[in-house]
Chains A and B, each alone.
Chain A
Amino acid sequence: MALTIKEVEHVAMLARLSLTEEEKKVFAEQLGAILGYVEKLNELSTEGVEPLAHILPVFNVFREDEVKPSPPREEIMANGPLTEDGYYKVPKIV
C-alpha cells in the first residue's frame, strides 16, 4: 500500500531532501512497495523465538583503554570541503 504524501514529506524532511510534487507521488508508491515486501516477514510465526539485539551470537567485544596516536590532521581533514585554522568550516547553524 502506498505511503501518504504526508509520510513521504516527513521522511524527506528527516533526510533533508527536497522533493517535487511529482517525486513525492513516485516515492509514495515505491516506498509503499518496499514496506509491503518487508511486511511479508510478519507472516512468519515467531512464537517461542527470543528477540535478537544482534544477528551474531557474540557478546562483550572490548578494547583496552590504551591511547594510540591519531593520524596527522592534514590526512584526516583532506576530504573536508572547507577548512580554516584546523577546523572544518560549515554553514552557519542555529
Chain B
Amino acid sequence: MHSEFEVVIGLEVHVELKTKTKIFCSCSTEFGAQPNTQVCPVCSGFPGMLPVLNRKVVEYAIRAGLALNCEIAEFCKFDRKNYFYPDLPKAYQISQYDLPICKNGYVEIEVDGEKKRIGIIRAHMEEDAGKLVHQGTITSSPFSLVDLNRSGVPLLEIVSAPDIRSAREARAYMEKLRSILLFAGVSDCKMQEGSLRCDANVSVRRKGETRLGVRTEIKNLNSFKALERAIEYEAKRQIEAIEDGEEIVQETRTWDEEKQVTRSMRSKEEAHDYRYFPDPDLPPLRISREWVEEIKKNMPELPEQAKQRLMERYGLSSYDAEIITLTPEYLAFFDQCVALYPDAKTVANWMMSELNKYLNQNNMEITEVKFRPEHLASLLKLIDNGTISGKMAKTVFEEMFNTGKEPEVIIKEKGMVQISDVQTLKGIVEEVIKNNPKVVEDYRSGKEKAFGFLVGQVMKATRGQANPALVNELLREYLSKE
C-alpha cells in the first residue's frame, strides 16, 4: 500500500537483571512487595549516601554481552544522567555514558524464512527509577503516587542499530533477544512485571533515501503485540503525514492500548540535556580478560546452539527447533521427554500442537504445566504399543493437562482401552457392512470416500475404542472378499 516508503526502527530494550539485591545497595529486588518496603537511604536518594556496586550485576552484564556477540570493554565507568522526575529521587540516574560495558554485538532473526542480522550498538548497566502509580489514566490523573521499591534495581539497556525494517522484524528481534537473555540466565524477562521493557524509535523515508527521517520514540510497549501494533500504527501515521505535506516532529509518544493509537507525550526539544559526568562516588571498572573467559566458559547453552543441536541430532525443521528453543524451560521439557521417548519428531509435534493449544487457551507458561515430561513420554508409548489410539491419546492429553494425572490412571478411569481383539472387531465390521449396502456399493464402484465413512461407523460402534489400523485392515479384507 505504502510501498514507496521504508520504515526504519531501532529498539531500546531495558532488561532487569535477576540479582537478589539492587545495583548499589543491599535492598531486595523481589517483585510485588508492599510499596516502599524495599528501600533504604541509598536507593531513595538521601544526601551523602554512597553507592557500592553489586558484583553480580557486572557478571550478568558481561554474560549478556557475550550472549549478544558484543565486545566486552576492558575499562568502563558509571556516569550521572541528570534530570528531574518524581520517580528519580536523586534527580540523576546512575548510568553509563561514553564507556558502556558492551558494544558492537548482533542478534540474528528470521522472518518468513529469511535470516537477518540486527546490530547491537551498545549495552550498558544502569539503575532503574521508581514506579509512578497514577490514579485514573496517565494523562487524567490528579496526582501521582511514588513507590521506590524499583529504584536501584539493576538494568541492562540494550540499544539496537536502526536495522529493523518492519513491525514483524521488531517483534522477531524482541522475541529472540528475550530467549537469548532467558537462556543466558540473566533475567526473567517478564514483560507483564516490567522486567523486559522496550521503547521503539520509528521513522520513515522514501525508498532509496539514505538519510534517516525524523524519528519519534514510542513508550509504554508492554507486550510483543503492543510493540507490533504500535509500530504499524506509527509508521502509517508518519507516512500519511508526509503524504499530506506535514513535517514529522521529533517527540516522545505513548502507546494507548485501549484506543490502539500512539499519542504525543512531550516534545524532545529541551529534554535532551542530561549533563552526563562521571559519578565520583563510583570507582571505574577494569574488566580482566580472565574474568570474561571464565564467564564465557560457564555460559549455558544458548538458543542458537540448542536450535542447531535439535536440527542436527533429531532432524527437526528450523521452524520447529526455533519454537522449542524459545524458552529454556520449554526446551528442558522437550529434552526430558526425548530422553524417555526417543522419537523426537513425535515429541515435538505433540508439544507444538496439543501442549501449545492448551497453554494458549489457558494463557499459561510451560512452568505452570501440571504434568511432567515423563507423562507425555508414557502417553506416546501407550500409542505405540496399541493400548490407545492417537485420537484417544488426545483426550487423555487434555485430561492430563487439566489434572496432572498419569496417562495410565486416566485410561483406567475412563475405561479407554483400545479394542485390538480381532474377533470382536470382525463382528462389528461385518455388522457395519451388512447395514450399509449402498455405501459398500459406492466403495466397490471406486469411491474411496465411502471407505472413510465405513471406518467412521466402526469407530462409532466402538465409541472410538477400536484400533484404527486394525479396523482399516479388516474392512479392506472384507470388502475385497465378495
Contacts and interface: CB of A to CB of B under 8 A. Distances in A.
A70 B28 contact: yes
The secondary-structure label for the interface of chain B is: loop
A66 B286 contact: no
Interface size grouping (class) on chain A: 35 or more
Interface string B271-296: 00101001010111110000000000
A88 B36 contact: yes
A76 B144 contact: no
A64 interface: yes
A44 interface: no
Given A13-B270, A76-B39, A60 B283 contact: yes
Number of chain B interface residues as a range: 35 or more
Interface stretch (B131-139, B342-350, B441-449): B131-139
A39 interface: no
Nearest to B135: A92
A62 interface: yes
Given A56-B283, A94-B139, A86 B35 contact: yes
A93 to B, nearest CB: 5
A71 B36 CA distance: 10
Query: Chain A interface mostly helix, strand, loop or mixed?
Result: loop
Given A87-B146, A87-B147, A91-B144, A63 B35 contact: no
Nearest to B137: A94
A34 B278 CA distance: 21
A14 B269 CA distance: 13
Contacts of B41: 71, 76
Contact of A93 (B75, B132, B280): B132
B52 A68 contact: no
Interface of A: 10, 13-14, 16, 53-56, 58-68, 70-71, 73, 76-77, 84-94
Interface of B: 19-21, 26-28, 34-41, 44, 52-58, 75, 77, 82, 84-86, 99, 132-133, 138-139, 141-148, 265-266, 270, 273, 275, 278, 280, 282-286
15 contacts: A53-B278, A54-B280, A54-B284, A60-B285, A63-B54, A70-B37, A71-B40, A76-B36, A76-B40, A86-B34, A87-B147, A89-B145, A92-B143, A93-B86, A94-B141
